[in-house]
Structure 1
Amino acid sequence: MTIAPRELLRAMFDAAVDAASPSLRIPAHLPPPPKGRTIVVGAGKASASMAKALEENWAGPLSGLIVTRDHHSVPCNRIEIVEAAHPVPDARGLKAAERIRAMVQGLGPDDLVLALISGGGSALLTLPAPGLTLEDKQAVNAALLRSGASIGEMNVVRKHLSAIKGGRLAAAAYPAQVITLVISDVPGDDPGLIASGPTIADPSTFADAAAVLQKYDITEPKSVIDHLRRAQEETPKVDDARLATARTTTIATPQLSLEAAAEVARKAGFTPLILGNALEGEARDVGRVMAGITRQTVEWAQPVRPPAVLLSGGETTVTIKGNGRGGRNVEFLLSLALELNGLPNVFALAADTDGVDGAEEIAGAIATPDTLARAAALGIDARASLANNDGHGFFEALNDQVITGPTRTNVNDFRAILITAVNQGTAKRPQ
């Protein structure tokens, strides 16, 4: 059976999202109920659906509190779900973080804290360190988002401005056992970077955090700079006795989702090639690199012979210089389309598995060989759109956006470049 390129791209993306569904991933990783109480806490875009899956598969009593992004909640019977702002934190997230920390304090060694953590938790679980305010954290978070800093760099700063991140939540729960179930949205799947690792020992330091702000010339608020300079009460390290009974399991990763998409491609008669699950860098630069690999495949049938699909994941960045609507997946896709310049037989999809690309309630978009021609017919200058960081506006005008609504999971960006045939005659093989 033949499937249209757009349909196959969307089927691969849907398979990638489904593979990271908490209802699928949670049950196999639940511990036995403890002798004492079970307290469930967590934060992230997938945390509410993780809580629901836990409830449906947990035999004993439990209670707790989860904070998730606006419009990402799901109804639970025993675990309270609250919503807060993302990506810039708000007072609702602060109040939830205060309550979560209070819930895990005063527990005993027979009690269990189940922490459900996923991407987006850094902004949602916001509790300023002593001497700092929510406004301080909002200002730094907004500056980092504009700067082009990597997720790893941002989280080093967040950990050192927080009273709950960087292992501090697990330390507060001691001597209870802490088991953390994580859905990874970071390159390399380092659990210490997911939601800024509230239950994970932190190897970074105040000096590392200060260096990140210096690198991106972030000098305000003064209270933040002074806090980092004082370097009081470092985050818990790997040898901290309060973390001795804490353990972590990563239950869903970008690689698992890419493999699920690859299987869909195989069944459709396309050879999949996973180029990497942890690609980083400026979105437009990654687009140019991927265009080069695509041309090699189209013209030389290398590194894989078409019909084929090039798959990748990770998290790119966008340094905002224009006044467009941003979005790292649409910026990648627009850059790719410009570099390919209408190359026949190439179709691509780039989208965030959580359904939100940047600050837009849009997952991403699809590009086709006629993308630039259709834009030109509408009077849209693709290069100007890219220079203005307006990928969302560009693909909206073409009606090529990928809109899913909240997926309630998050394993980072998904990129698929579908090559339906070798372009005969575009190049001659060397003798």
Structure 2
Amino acid sequence: MPKSSMSIVQTREDDPQALLRRLFRAAVEAADPMVCVPPHLPERPRGRTVVVGAGKASAAMARAVEAHWDGPLEGLVVTRYGHGAATDRIEVVEASHPVPDRAGLDATRRILELADGLGEDDLLLCLISGGGSALMSAPADRMTLEDKREVNRQLLACGATISEINCVRKHLSAVKGGRLAMRAWPARVVALMISDVPGDDPATIASGPTVADPTTAGEARAVLEKYGLAVPEPVARWLADPRAETPKPGDERLSRTQNVVVAAPSLSLAAAREIAEAEGYRILDLGDCVEGEAREVGREHAALARAVAAGEGEVSPPAIVLSGGETTVTVRGEGRGGRNAEYALGLALALDGAPGIYAIACDTDGIDGSEDNAGAVIGPKTLARAHALDLDPAASLEANDAYGVFAALGDLVVTGPTRTNVNDFRAILVKG
């Protein structure tokens, strides 16, 4: 039977923002590699076991493998600067994200060499997580790293979706879109993945280095044309070359490859939901596939929260609206702030001080874009407090400077690198 309104009042945590931060911690902990990796480790092979990987969680995943593997082990993973972890047998290299650098390029070339050296009795254990697209980067054919950097920079700035970005990345890479697994043939390949993408499609996680690619080079060209991007000549020339096509489903060289998603945004949302319900809140779960321009999604969610507060929503207060996924930011100004801070500021502006509504928006990797915060929290007094400091939140949003507003208010959520990544976490609390 549903809880009575009296029991809800009695069990609900008094500090809304403290509860929201606790929900975020639960979401991150559900994707801890030490928890989610060991149950999915494959059987030990007759030959060598070589571990490779890339992503914001790859170092922590490597540490989890070492702690639970009973045989010989070797390999290399590449992760973002500051996201490394102590390992004994698997080398960890740190490199740049979201724009690839020389360290990532050199590490990727070494990963490809490891894959090339395997035989039928060997196992290539791949540890893949969000961020792997930029971290495991090796340009195809005669493109340079600078060519790929320029394309990546334009894609991130133009508002392209993560699916569109990954489509282009796959066709410019020597490793993505199934090419890593192809290089390891005829060895067995097992890829353990921590998903940061809507729908948890293995072909999209880190641009699917071990997954046959259903997208085409023609679709990659269409993305560049859609956003009017002026790409370097070697990129345009390569995308017109038949060799730019990635391995497709049914390719024999991928027939010994197994891809397993070991952690996903939906599981993290479920962990947060369990705590919220135990506190007596009704839940409206929007799912883990929310996409769109960050500030616009913030406005849409503000309207939804207002409806809940007015008793006109799908649930009645006290309630918490949960969502995951990955929004985008079209860069117009020169301020600071990732997509979660921009979402939060857009939400606060649309709520305009509506009473009893609080929210948190954070990236589960602990880094919102390229800043040092995971995201931010807001409440009914956010705008009034900002105005008292002579800040103009609306102008700051136009300048893409949400970080500046929340830093001044002391409302940034700072966790440091969490060494996992299941995309963004958002929760809106509507008090009764």
Match of 2:261 among 244, 250, 261: 250
Q: Count the aligned residue pairs.
A: 421
- The 5 A counterparts of 1:49-128 are 49-128=60-139
Deviations 1:105-136 (A, max 9, x none): 13111111100000000110010101100010
How far apart are the structure 2 equivalents of 1:183 and 1:233? 27
Q: Specify the alignment match of 1:306 in structure 2.
A: 317
> Is residue 349 from structure 1 mapped to residue 329 from structure 2 by the alignment?
no
| TM-score, scaled relative to structure 2 | 0.96
Q: Percent identity?
A: 57
Shift of 1:284: 0.9
Q: Specify the alignment match of 1:393 in structure 2.
A: 404
Q: Specify the alignment match of 2:14 in structure 1.
A: 3
Q: Specify the alignment match of 1:415 in structure 2.
A: 426
Match of 2:56 among 25, 40, 45: 45
Q: Specify the alignment match of 1:142 in structure 2.
A: 153
- Decide which moves more: 260-269 or 14-23: 260-269
Q: Specify the alignment match of 2:283 in structure 1.
A: 272
How far apart are the structure 1 equivalents of 2:383 and 2:299? 16
Contact 2:172–2:244 (Cα < 8 Å) also in 1: no
How far apart are the structure 2 equivalents of 1:303 and 1:254? 22
Deviations 1:339-396 (A, max 9, x none): 1110000000000000111111210000000000000101111110111111111111
SS at structure 1 position matched to 2:287:
strand
How far apart are the structure 1 equivalents of 2:232 and 2:421? 31
SS at structure 1 position matched to 2:240:
helix
- Decide which moves more: 200-209 or 262-271: 262-271
Contact 2:171–2:244 (Cα < 8 Å) also in 1: no
> Is residue 223 from structure 1 mapped to residue 234 from structure 2 by the alignment?
yes
Letter in 1 for 2:304: I
Contact 2:294–2:343 (Cα < 8 Å) also in 1: yes
Match of 2:393 among 379, 382, 399: 382
Letter in 1 for 2:145: L
Contact 2:141–2:238 (Cα < 8 Å) also in 1: no
- Decide which moves more: 224-233 or 244-253: 224-233
SS at structure 1 position matched to 2:288:
strand
Contact 2:335–2:401 (Cα < 8 Å) also in 1: yes
Contact 1:363–1:402 (Cα < 8 Å) also in 2: yes
How far apart are the structure 2 equivalents of 1:325 and 1:214? 28
How far apart are the structure 1 equivalents of 2:191 and 2:243? 27
Deviations 1:235-273 (A, max 9, x none): 111111100000100000000000100111112121222
Shift of 1:55: 0.6
Contact 2:192–2:261 (Cα < 8 Å) also in 1: yes
Q: Specify the alignment match of 2:347 in structure 1.
A: 336
Q: Specify the alignment match of 1:179 in structure 2.
A: 190
Shift of 1:326: 3.2
Contact 2:238–2:244 (Cα < 8 Å) also in 1: no
Unaligned runs of 5+ residues in structure 1 are 422-431
Shift of 1:225: 1.1
Shift of 1:91: 0.3
How far apart are the structure 2 equivalents of 1:170 and 1:3? 51
Match of 2:144 among 108, 115, 133: 133
How far apart are the structure 2 equivalents of 1:100 and 1:3? 51
Match of 2:378 among 343, 363, 367: 367
Q: Specify the alignment match of 2:243 in structure 1.
A: 232
Shift of 1:6: 1.1
SS at structure 1 position matched to 2:310:
helix
| TM-score, scaled relative to structure 1 | 0.96
Contact 1:320–1:326 (Cα < 8 Å) also in 2: no
Match of 1:18 among 9, 16, 29: 29
- Decide which moves more: 14-23 or 385-394: 385-394
Deviations 1:155-212 (A, max 9, x none): 1111111111110000000000000000000111111111111110001111111111
CA RMSD of aligned residues (A): 0.9
- Decide which moves more: 175-184 or 299-308: 299-308
Contact 2:105–2:137 (Cα < 8 Å) also in 1: yes
SS at structure 1 position matched to 2:128:
strand
- Decide which moves more: 56-65 or 228-237: 228-237
Q: Specify the alignment match of 2:214 in structure 1.
A: 203
- The 5 A counterparts of 1:144-183 are 144-183=155-194
Contact 2:326–2:423 (Cα < 8 Å) also in 1: yes
How far apart are the structure 2 equivalents of 1:399 and 1:190? 37
Contact 1:84–1:124 (Cα < 8 Å) also in 2: yes
SS at structure 2 position matched to 1:366:
strand
Unaligned runs of 5+ residues in structure 2 are 1-10
Shift of 1:230: 2.1
Q: Specify the alignment match of 1:429 in structure 2.
A: none
How far apart are the structure 2 equivalents of 1:396 and 1:107? 50
Contact 2:217–2:244 (Cα < 8 Å) also in 1: no
Contact 1:128–1:163 (Cα < 8 Å) also in 2: yes
Shift of 1:71: 0.6
